[in-house]
Amino acid sequence: MNKPSTTNGTSSMSETSSVKTVTIMNKVSRIVQGLLFFVVTIGILWFGITNGTGIVSDTTRSGENIIQLENYTGEGHRTMVSYEVPPRRVLITYPGATELLIALGLQDRIVATMKPYGVEPPELAGAYDALPKLEAPFVPTKEEVLQEKPDLVMAWNHHFLPNALGDVRYWHKRDIATYIVPATVRKGSPTMEGTVFPFIDNVGAIFGVPEEAARYKESLADRIAAVRQDAVVRGTTPTVMVLQLYGNSMYTVYGENYIVYDIVRTAGGQPLVPQGMSFIGPERILGVDPDYIVLVMTDYSGNMETFTEEGMNLVKADPNIRHMRAIEAGRVIPVPFGAINNGNGRVVDVLEMISAGLNRNSCY
């Protein structure tokens, strides 16, 4: 007696199993597609809400005396911030902002600031000395800021990080506006016109003095144009290394992420080491053979002749670098640390110092 065949039964079971598998896969596919659609939709909405910064823009305040300007978060992302015009109680943790307010005659708005970087120029020194100073040497605590009851805090970008004053939203929720000085956001290749000028424009708008800000900016633009003309007349493009000494043969070379790089270019020099180098030994310095050294120094008394002599003595005192071509030829141009790192009109002072040094010690 023949056994019944099982081929058709097996085939039928396989087909049923295949159908179930396909059905399950289709369901899984639809679920995955749905999740992807949800994630993309949320992403688009979040991008729109945050202007692509990842942080919700400050769009909650409005009124006749409120303006909105693009500024930054502590991480350097762009965001919109609301400002009441004019602010009446300003707390500043970045000396460059204090100096700009003084230059525009707005020092009466400042309730507290930090100590300046180095010696202030004579035209700013008296007003700066008279301002109340915060106790903290670098970054105040939230409590110290809040007790001053500011309506605006102007600062470095890194002051608005979790380990310092916290995210900008912490202050916006308390109706305290924040302004991060553009020069403190170390991104890209900052220029005088692209970094300092917007700073001046913003301060003019926030404090309701656009005409004074425009006049100040125009005076700086005229001085920059004069230096550019000097560079054309000079007709040379010497190489320049921007160097800072820390003692014990330790150095930093400033790269293109600092505004001094653009200052050197504007003065007619060719800055070297665009990537910059921090806290390095002399062997890395000796690998560069510039025509000139721009030497960043912290102590500047206001006398350029004495300042230059001090700078020359400083580099000659280091036996590891004193035989560099630029040093032996006396082509060292000292500049004040406070001026190049304050992100305001004082950078033009540095521009004129470098231009004068290139004119005085031409190597051609």
Give dist(CA 78, CA 187) in Å, integer.
Answer: 12
Percent of the chain with pLDDT over 90: 72
Q: What is the mean pLDDT of residues 180-189?
A: 90
Give dist(CA 317, CA 249) in Å, integer.
Answer: 10
Question: Is residue 337 scored above 70 in pLDDT?
Answer: yes
Residue 295: pLDDT band (50, 70, 90) is very high
Average pLDDT over the chain reads 87
Instruction: Considering only residues 290 and 18, tell me which one the structure prediction assigns the higher pLDDT.
Output: 290
Backbone angles phi, psi at 244, to 5 degrees: -130, 130
Q: Is 363 exposed, middle or buried (0-12, 13-18, 19+ CB in 10 A)?
A: middle
Across 11-20, 219-228, 244-253, least confident range: 11-20
Give dist(CA 284, CA 297) in Å, integer.
Answer: 20
Question: Is residue 32 scored above 60 in pLDDT?
Answer: no
pLDDT of residue 253: 96
Count of beta carbons in the 10 Å neighbourhood of residue 336:
24
Residue 201: pLDDT band (50, 70, 90) is very high
Contact residues for 105 (Cβ-Cβ < 8 A; gap 6+): 209, 212
Q: What is the mean pLDDT of residues 249-271?
A: 95
Q: Which two tokens stand for residue 305?
A: 């002749």
Question: Is residue 51 scored above 60 in pLDDT?
Answer: no
pLDDT of residue 157: 94
Burial 31-45 (b: 16+ CB within 10 A, else e): eeeeeeeeeeeeeee
Instruction: Considering only residues 34 and 336, tell me which one the structure prediction assigns the higher pLDDT.
Output: 336
pLDDT of residue 53: 45
What are 82-132's pLDDT values in tens digits? 999 999 999 999 999 999 999 999 999 999 999 998 889 899 999 999 999
Backbone angles phi, psi at 323, to 5 degrees: -95, 10
Q: For 259-320, give the secondary structure using H, E and C.
A: HHHHHHHHCCCEECCCCCEEEECHHHHHCCCCCEEEEEECCCCCCHHHHHHHHHHHHHCCCC
Question: Is residue 56 scored above 90 in pLDDT?
Answer: no
- Quote the pTM value: 0.81
